[in-house]
Amino acid sequence: MEDLPLSEPVLLILMSLAGQPRHGYSILKDVERMSDGRVVLSTGTLYGALRRLLDDDWIERFEERESSRGRQAYRLTSQGRRSLQLEVDRMKHLTRLAALRVATKES
């Protein structure tokens, strides 16, 4: 099971799949776009992370029907979505706390 907090690449992969199911290339490009080019995953890194997420049942694999090549695509499971939500909540709490502390210091 993935522990919280998630590493940035794993978080970005989950965020990418939260919007819609995607195949490998689409995930890579979306991660790059979301991070403004700061996180560029190699295929090795991507499929290592996907393998672990599959093992943990956070994502599932299926064959894309629209694709003529029958490509494999990935989508979040309900467990994966729950874990992503937990991570988002954790981050929200942290940023709220940080904003409070910074504001207190400034005043």
Partner 1 sequence: MLTFYRRLLWLYPTSHRELFSEEMLAVFSELEMNHRTESISRRAIFYIRELLGVLRSALFEHISQTFDTEIDFTFASRRVFMKDGFRFPKTTAILMALILGGVLLAIKRGEDISASLPHVNPSVGPIQPAHSTLLPPIALFFAFFYAAGLIGWAILFALRRSGVHRLADTASSGK
The binding site for partner 1 (CB under 8 A) comprises: 7-10, 23-25, 28, 38-52, 69, 71-72
Q: Which is nearer to partner 1, 65 or 69 (CB)?
A: 69
How many CB atoms sit inside 10 A of residue 54's CB? Answer: 15
* Least Cβ distance, residue 100 to partner 1 (angstroms): 26
Q: Which is nearer to partner 1, 86 or 100 (CB)?
A: 86
Q: Which is nearer to partner 1, 63 or 100 (CB)?
A: 63
Say if residue 13 is exposed, middle or buried (CB neighbours under 10 Å; 0-12, 13-18, 19+). Answer: buried
Q: Which is nearer to partner 1, 29 or 81 (CB)?
A: 29
* Least Cβ distance, residue 103 to partner 1 (angstroms): 26
CB environment 86-100: b (16+ within 10 A), e (fewer): ebeeeeeeeeeeeee
* Least Cβ distance, residue 70 to partner 1 (angstroms): 11
CB environment 62-72: b (16+ within 10 A), e (fewer): eeeeeeeeeee
Residue 45's identity, in one-letter code, is: T
